[in-house]
Amino acid sequence: MKVTAMIGSNRAESYNKQLVKYMKDRYQDKIEINILPIEKLPFYNQDEELNPPEIVKELRERIKESDAVLFATPEYNGSISGMLKNAIDWFSRVDLVLVNKPGMIVGASMGALGTVKAQLQLRQILNSRGVGVLTLPGNEVLIGSVQNKVDEQGNLTDEQTIDFLDSVVHNFVSWCDTLQK
Ligand SMILES: Cc1cc2nc3c(=O)[nH]c(=O)nc-3n(C[C@H](O)[C@H](O)[C@H](O)COP(=O)(O)O)c2cc1C
């Protein structure tokens, strides 16, 4: 199953980026994760939506070719980052490439609540008409105090978190199978 990942942080040492790389490796026998370079997208401009920049068209095609989408979100001031929102906005207009795609959400933050506010908002955004990403109820991967749960290579070390992530990926893949039938 091909999964396109959108990561809401462009910082080199991003925990969310490390998390997606960890997932790409750990679940390679179940899902093929490809990271979408959403940091290359310009700011959304409605004047350009009918004739968008090449990079928008290119990334749209990559989403179309995938079976599902993975969102890895940091929490910025109680919400998702502007970069992630910008990408979702581009993909929600004219060519509605996200509609009916199954989406999985994960998030890591240094705060105790592990992106809970950002994820609630993200679910609401994904539920918008032009976005239309399908999400599995529950299965919320909220990794708080992430700085204490990874090693120097960015691999998760916290057993409870790893077990939970395993179960969520399992649930997500099974759910995607039922959607395709
Ligand atoms: C602008 C900004 C706002 C932030 N706001 C929150 C917040 O609301 N809640 C939280 O838990 N962490 C917050 N943080 C800390 C982030 O959780 C932390 O920087 C985290 O490492 C960001 O994800 P990344 O490692 O993937 O870049 C904020 C960080 C920045 C830069």
CATH number assigned to the domain comprising residue 120: 3.40.50.360
Distance, CA 42 to ligand 1 centroid (Å)? Answer: 22
pLDDT of residue 104: 98
**Ligand 1 pocket: which of 39, 80, 109 to mutate (most atoms within 8 A of CB):** 109
Find the domain containing 73 and state its range: 2-174
- Enter the tokens of residue 155: 């691999």
* CB-based contact 6:84 (threshold 8 Å): yes
User: Is 179 a domain residue?
Assistant: no
Distance, CA 72 to ligand 1 centroid (Å)? Answer: 13
pLDDT of residue 181: 80
* Mean pLDDT (10-residue bins), the chain, 181 residues: 98 97 97 98 97 98 98 97 98 97 97 95 98 96 97 95 98 95 80
User: Is 180 a domain residue?
Assistant: no
Please count the structural domains in the chain.
Answer: 1
User: Is 111 a domain residue?
Assistant: yes
User: Is 162 a domain residue?
Assistant: yes
pLDDT of residue 24: 98
pLDDT of residue 165: 98
User: Is 46 a domain residue?
Assistant: yes
pLDDT of residue 139: 96
pLDDT of residue 6: 98
**Ligand 1 pocket: which of 110, 121, 150 to mutate (most atoms within 8 A of CB):** 110
Burial of 132 (0-12, 13-18, 19+ CB in 10 A): middle
